[in-house]
Structure 1
Amino acid sequence: MAGGRQISENKKGLPRRWRFMHGAYFYSVPPGQECMWDGKKTFHLGRGLPEAFRKWAARMEQPGKIHTVSDLLERYLLEVIPKKAPKTQIENARHVRSLMAAFGSAHLYEIRPRDIYRYVDARSAKTAARREIEVLSHAFTKAIEWGLIDNHPFKGQIRLEGETPRDRYVEDWEVIEALSLSAPQKRGRRQGPAGLYQAEAPDRPFTWGYASPAAGCEFPGRWHSGAVS
């Protein structure tokens, strides 16, 4: 029974073109790239997620231009997650899938603190939402390290209520994330307007959308129920 649950968990949060079949991970090779994957259309990556990530990373070239959150998270999946503990890899991959569904089409420079509040407000699973935001925050920290952006869009500017201590050791990347906060950012955390942006429709999923341009308007995230608005 436990093994079945593990397989079910491993299916979640996979990168694009990955498949989980017959107890193993496979990559569906894009047309014209078969020569990079031993001439195969479906490439066997391995039975375990850590092995699959290592083999995939060894075969993939560095991503090209990164413009969107989806582009950033793809690189994060490729370069950062494989270095984490096996259990953390599975959890982070699942978090990335949720983040891609919500923010994937947003440009890196479009994310604002209010978007983070609205995303968490819209989620019924608050603990999972906070874990997802931790992953997104670390991805943006890596984006600065990789020279993709100059400033973190929300670190030190938000304060999510309801956080409880976790019953585990803090990982190295989380320590680095905390230490990288500048003094002004740390002070700003005390002033974070928790709950400033209330969910317009808490039971509807948060996905990135574009508002009609107007003077002084930005392009915030928006809730979509499936119908085009």
Structure 2
Amino acid sequence: MANTRTPVPRDALRTLLAGNQRFVSGVPEHPNQDAERRAALAPVQHPFAVLFGCSDSRLAAEIIFDRGLGDLFVVRTAGHVAGPEVLGSIEYGVSVLDCRLVVVLGHDSCGAVAAARAALEDGPPAPGYVRDVVERVTPSVLAARAAGIDDPDGIVDEHIRNTVDLLLDRSRVLADEVAAGRAAVVGLSYRLADGSARLVAARGLEEDVLAGAAPAAPHPRTDAGLA
């Protein structure tokens, strides 16, 4: 069911970044977290964004973006690795719940990225299904190396960019929505120490919107598809 109240992608992103600024500044408003909101949402939900983030316990989306019940459709996996269930969940958020913005949220000191780097340096293999997570992060580490990136934060940024691209490459539903100008996909990198979220990649947003967002780190690879 379409939700006519869903904000366009640029407004959804601005709402998230404004909430993050409040969180960083220590003046959160804690919107949509009362009994009235809970009761209003019982029959139906209208989230304004899909947030696909790392499962790290320090990345509680509604807290770091100062949002509340019903605001975000959250999907989380270790290292924000995407399999069929993740893609289906994101497509549900976009095609059924009418979310116009998909956010990939990574962070510094990511254990999955560190494990992939260690595996490439002949470290011990990860146990059980953790190995699947490491293997899905490894292409991002290799891509960072190929681009001459060797600092940990730069590698994390590369993994975020690669995840944004992977979602669009593998999900025809999402790619068609972005191509039609109805949705956008962005990548944000979260700093654990100060709580800030920084823009790393974007697909489907205008240049002027990106200029007003938190700046991305310099990178030798140009991000295309911002129109």
Structure with the greater relative contact order (CA < 8 A, sep ≥ 6): 1 or 2?
Answer: 2
Q: When the two structures are superposed, what TM-score results if normalisation uses the length of structure 1?
A: 0.28
Structure (1 or 2) with the greater strand fraction = 2
